Structure 1
Amino acid sequence: MNPRRGLERVTVVGGGVTAMCAAIAFARALPDAAVALVATPPDPAALADRLPAVDPRGMALLARLGIGEAALVRAGAATHRVGQRFARDGGAFAIGEGDGITMLAGAALHQLWRAHGEDPFATLVPGAALAAAERFVHPADTDPLLSRVDYALRLDAARAVAVLTSAARAAGVRIVQARTVAAASSSLIHVDGAPVEADLSIDASGPAALLAAPDAAWIDWSATLPADRLLLGSAPPAPSPTDSYDATGDGWTARWPLAARTITGFAYAEAVTPHARARRLFKGEAERIVVAPRRQAAPFAGTVLALGDAAAALGPFGWLGLPLTLAQLEIALELMPARGDGPQLAAEYNRRAGLAADHMHAYAAAWYLAGQGRAGPFWHPLRRRAGPPELDRALEQFARRGTLPPVEEAMIPRSTWQQMLIGLGIRPARVDPIAASVPHASAVAALTQSRQAIEALPARLPPYPHYLDRMMQAAR
């Protein structure tokens, strides 16, 4: 027998969404343990906390923790994202959440489109059509198109923390405010100078990684995620289920609409665009954030588990930080550390968490490195830059025959990968034999019928601000 001794004391360090979610999760998983949240001042550069989205997998985890979508919407802390719209040299495209129509006329949809289609691929994806039209309602199993749509939630960080604080207290989490936190040893931290012992310490402090060992190894992602500066501003509210990204010569701009405001952003590289020029290009008041894309090689070391930007910093594109964080938290809950564990459990966590982070990194890097080169000083040096290995494998296989390699701990749905790569101008060189075997007239008829049905879908739905307001009123 190998009896494991359960955790008795868990300390979470951090002041944002990541720390709150971790504290609630461990308090609910370990009802007999003492879980304390050492609330530190929020780190402005902690983008998993600052720009938090929750994908469908993360929403399922939050629901298990007793944090429902309705409560977040009622508090004005969440809006829905049905897709994202991208503009770049050569045109614009949209990516929809959800699997979409995976098969048509007996062939994979994107392969049938490659063999027989002429219209943009996004016109065949229900979520992309809704994103382009800025329409959303919840998926409905009774509707053949709406059943193929999914969505994510964008969180308003400050309002979400207020909701999560109430949930944490209800779960029995003891919240302690702290000005300074430092690691003294693998099981001892100092909070405002006072020692605090824990069986497990969770570092959710952001990119400062307050509990990381001085010799912690980091994997640098700056070559493949080259935007190292971010200007964040605010515009009046204009609720929409669509995030917008525009590639410019100096980087890219974005609009992320929340319920009470719209976050605006400009991501760039300081070596290419000096700060003064970036401020002139962005226009309006803005906060500058230094972005350092990287991940810890071993985010679980000793009795310290790093989550959020303390473990992996992906930058602002796509709001990918919190989805990765919640997936890694789910892995930790599945493996559930115990007192006196040997190195095997930490090694397995680090393996799986690293695979998840690398998959998310590959997807984010595709925006910068895949497809046709963009014009401008930010993009020009990236034209021949090597991507991360997982992206290179995906590009090679998709460009050759329109398929993607299997991935353990996959974070991005295959349909999303397909939409991104096609939108970036990548076309499989080989025509899929199954798609080619469909008679051309039959394939065109099936594609046309599907496209026309999808084109008619947005007109059936209310404007998103009306739908959101109705949801907020119903939740009260």
Structure 2
Amino acid sequence: MLDAPIRSVAVVGGGIVGWSAAVALRRRVPALAVTVLASPPTPDALADRLPHTLPSTIGFHDDLGLREEDAVVRAGGAWRLGTLFEGWVDGLPPYVHAYGSYGRPFGTASFHHHWVRAAHAGAVAPFDSHAPAAALARADRVALGADDPLLGDVQPGLVLDVERYRAMLAAFARHLGVDVREGTVAAVRLGGDDGLVERLVLDDGASLEADLYVDASGPRAIVRGAIDQEREDWSTWLRCDRLVTGEGAPEPLSPLDRVTAADGGWRWRSAAPGRTLHGLCYAAAALSDAAATDALAAAGATTVTAPVSFRQGTRHEPWARNCVAVGDAATVIEPLDFTNLHLAQSAIDRIVAMMPGRACHPLELADYNRQASAEVARVRDFVLCHYATARRPGAFWQPPASLPESLERTLRLFAERGRLPFFEEETFARDDWLALLLGQGVLPRRVDPLIDVTAAADSDRAMAAYRAAIAQAVARCPTADDYLATARGRLAR
């Protein structure tokens, strides 16, 4: 019987991550009986609490059959096209990490090599001025599904209304036939011989049994943690361990978030329908909770939540025996690039794609864990790269004494000739890395020789023409407020 297919799944956690897992499993593997133990998420469950997503969330919705009107407009959300980073390198202007392409390839070399040559020669337009999504974001405009081919690869992320979005997922799960149980886990019973999770004892004395357990309970990892507590700690590299959030008066909608480096951490600000979202991520050793709360209030937050602690790191084996951890139960990382929900949804997709037999054979689990670990390591590298290349005074901002080998190799290779290594499980594309590195002033030491077949003057003219074309295309696009109003109008018809 252990070699038979998995027929029942218990999802532990009633936040966004848990409901996302339940909907995906039930929708994409209809033969599964799925039960959710809808325990409310803890305040430190970042993937359940933070409203920002990467563009991959829209693909996740598409796989579930969720329409834009349901997942965004009805749920009180909006779109985001990128983040403006301010103050990360003293003396350099802010830059935008946007979702989509930077430049257009021409000649025999990638676009960024043309830009690097111009930068070595002297004055050059900012790298992000060659990104349609960045130009749209700076202009507070949105172009989703635009006919203009120049804007065709603009990839929006989302700003969610967390409670309304969670309620939408919960309603969808019930519609799909997901069984919902209330309560919390009081004890996890493991089998004596194989160590599999046999059942969960709930706080009311009842039991919950399944072939597979998906732990979406947050950092405490109630179920997965009963098997082992092995975890890789990232605090040597990533020093932030506290977070405070708040809301302020509404502002005109903008698809551009702002992330500002500050003493002891960084602060974000983003517009959402009916409110402005604020947050401050910091190291307790560098900034007190009172100072963090005051800083958020000074930035415009009128309501501020209590600070929460978190410890950055990941599980080497998120899937052990018949339990797989997702979201903060698997990986805790600061929300600098808003990867928290992305990692959870990517794990859910991987569970569906790599569903083992009921025996949960170690060979199958090892391949899942290999892919998950590779993806998480590169997300860690991308977040850490901001700190490794930052140049600001203060102890908090001094780079770590050593870096992970994968990030060290990326930085060494890029610094030499502007090239980037290939990794199998990358969340962020090459242009994302280029936006970060060039935006923070990491200029390759040498120009790639492939650029020599194109004259510098020709490169300059091509880049100027591309910037002009972007400006013309952006001017024809609606503002973020107008676009949302139009989307709401379609629902009212």
- Bin of the TM-score, shorter chain as denominator length: over 0.9
Contact 1:308 1:321 in 2 (8 A): yes
Contact 1:307 1:329 in 2 (8 A): yes
1:60 maps to what in 2? 59
After superposition, where does 1:229-244 map in structure 2 within 5 Å?
229-238=242-251, 239-244=253-258
Per-residue deviation, residues 95-126 of structure 1 (Å, max 9, x unmatched) = 21112434134431111111125111111111
Could you tell me which of 447, 455, 477 is aligned with 1:431?
447
Assess, with a 3 A threshold, how the Cα gap between structure 1 residues 182 and 366 changes in structure 2: closer, same or farther.
Answer: farther
Assess, with a 3 A threshold, how the Cα gap between structure 1 residues 395 and 475 changes in structure 2: closer, same or farther.
Answer: farther
Residue 213 of structure 1 and its aligned partner are, at CA, apart by: 3.2
CA distance in 2, matches of 1:356, 1:302: 21
Does 2:14 match 1:9? no
Contact 1:268 1:378 in 2 (8 A): no
Q: Which residue type is aligned with residue 229 of structure 1?
A: R
After superposition, where does 1:125-164 map in structure 2 within 5 Å?
125-140=131-146, 142-164=147-169
Contact 1:248 1:376 in 2 (8 A): no
1:112 maps to what in 2? 114
Contact 1:206 1:308 in 2 (8 A): yes
Does 2:373 match 1:374? no
Q: Which residue type is aligned with residue 73 of structure 1?
A: V
Could you tell me which of 97, 100, 116 is aligned with 2:99?
97
Structure-2-length-normalised TM-score: 0.91
Q: Secondary structure of 1:148's match?
A: coil
CA distance in 2, matches of 1:445, 1:160: 46
2:319 maps to what in 1? 300
Contact 1:255 1:262 in 2 (8 A): yes
Residue 293 of structure 1 and its aligned partner are, at CA, apart by: 0.9
Contact 2:29 2:352 in 1 (8 A): no
Assess, with a 3 A threshold, how the Cα gap between structure 1 residues 264 and 54 changes in structure 2: closer, same or farther.
Answer: closer
Does 2:218 match 1:200? no
Contact 2:75 2:168 in 1 (8 A): no
CA distance in 2, matches of 1:102, 1:217: 45
Could you tell me which of 283, 293, 315 is aligned with 1:279?
293
Assess, with a 3 A threshold, how the Cα gap between structure 1 residues 403 and 473 changes in structure 2: closer, same or farther.
Answer: same
Residue 68 of structure 1 and its aligned partner are, at CA, apart by: 2.2
2:417 maps to what in 1? 401
1:361 maps to what in 2? 380
2:194 maps to what in 1? none
Q: Which residue type is aligned with residue 322 of structure 2?
A: T
- Identical columns (%): 34
Q: Which residue type is aligned with residue 265 of structure 1?
A: G
Q: Which residue type is aligned with residue 369 of structure 1?
A: A
Could you tell me which of 360, 368, 374 is aligned with 1:341?
360
CA distance in 2, matches of 1:254, 1:307: 25
Q: Secondary structure of 1:457's match?
A: helix
2:82 maps to what in 1? 83
Q: Secondary structure of 1:227's match?
A: coil
CA distance in 2, matches of 1:307, 1:24: 14
Q: Which residue type is aligned with residue 149 of structure 1?
A: V
Could you tell me which of 197, 201, 205 is aligned with 1:190?
201
Q: Secondary structure of 2:261's match?
A: strand
Q: Which residue type is aligned with residue 295 of structure 2?
A: L
Assess, with a 3 A threshold, how the Cα gap between structure 1 residues 3 and 29 changes in structure 2: closer, same or farther.
Answer: farther
CA distance in 2, matches of 1:258, 1:285: 15
Residue 362 of structure 1 and its aligned partner are, at CA, apart by: 0.8
CA distance in 2, matches of 1:396, 1:294: 24
Q: Secondary structure of 2:149's match?
A: coil
CA distance in 2, matches of 1:292, 1:151: 29
Does 2:232 match 1:219? yes
CA distance in 2, matches of 1:54, 1:72: 12
Q: Which residue type is aligned with residue 248 of structure 1?
A: A
Contact 1:76 1:260 in 2 (8 A): no
Per-residue deviation, residues 198-234 of structure 1 (Å, max 9, x unmatched) = 1000000111111123532101112222111111010
Assess, with a 3 A threshold, how the Cα gap between structure 1 residues 162 and 384 changes in structure 2: closer, same or farther.
Answer: closer
Q: Which residue type is aligned with residue 113 of structure 1?
A: W
Runs of 4+, deviation exceeding 4 Å: none
Assess, with a 3 A threshold, how the Cα gap between structure 1 residues 316 and 54 changes in structure 2: closer, same or farther.
Answer: closer
Assess, with a 3 A threshold, how the Cα gap between structure 1 residues 159 and 262 changes in structure 2: closer, same or farther.
Answer: same
CA distance in 2, matches of 1:334, 1:441: 50
CA distance in 1, matches of 2:326, 2:187: 16
Contact 1:230 1:267 in 2 (8 A): yes
Does 2:480 match 1:464? yes
Contact 2:322 2:360 in 1 (8 A): no
2:399 maps to what in 1? 383
Contact 2:240 2:281 in 1 (8 A): yes
Contact 1:13 1:19 in 2 (8 A): yes
Q: For the aligned residues, what is the CA RMSD?
A: 1.9
CA distance in 2, matches of 1:383, 1:296: 25
After superposition, where does 1:238-277 map in structure 2 within 5 Å?
238=251, 239-277=253-291
1:331 maps to what in 2? 350
Q: Secondary structure of 1:103's match?
A: coil
CA distance in 2, matches of 1:74, 1:119: 36
Could you tell me which of 163, 178, 181 is aligned with 2:183?
178
CA distance in 1, matches of 2:437, 2:352: 33
Q: Secondary structure of 2:152's match?
A: helix
Q: Secondary structure of 1:257's match?
A: strand
Per-residue deviation, residues 30-68 of structure 1 (Å, max 9, x unmatched) = 323321000002211111111144433332232121222
CA distance in 1, matches of 2:268, 2:158: 17
Unmatched runs of 5 consecutive residues or more in structure 2: 191-196
1:42 maps to what in 2? 41
Unmatched runs of 5 consecutive residues or more in structure 1: none
Residue 446 of structure 1 and its aligned partner are, at CA, apart by: 0.6
Contact 2:76 2:273 in 1 (8 A): yes
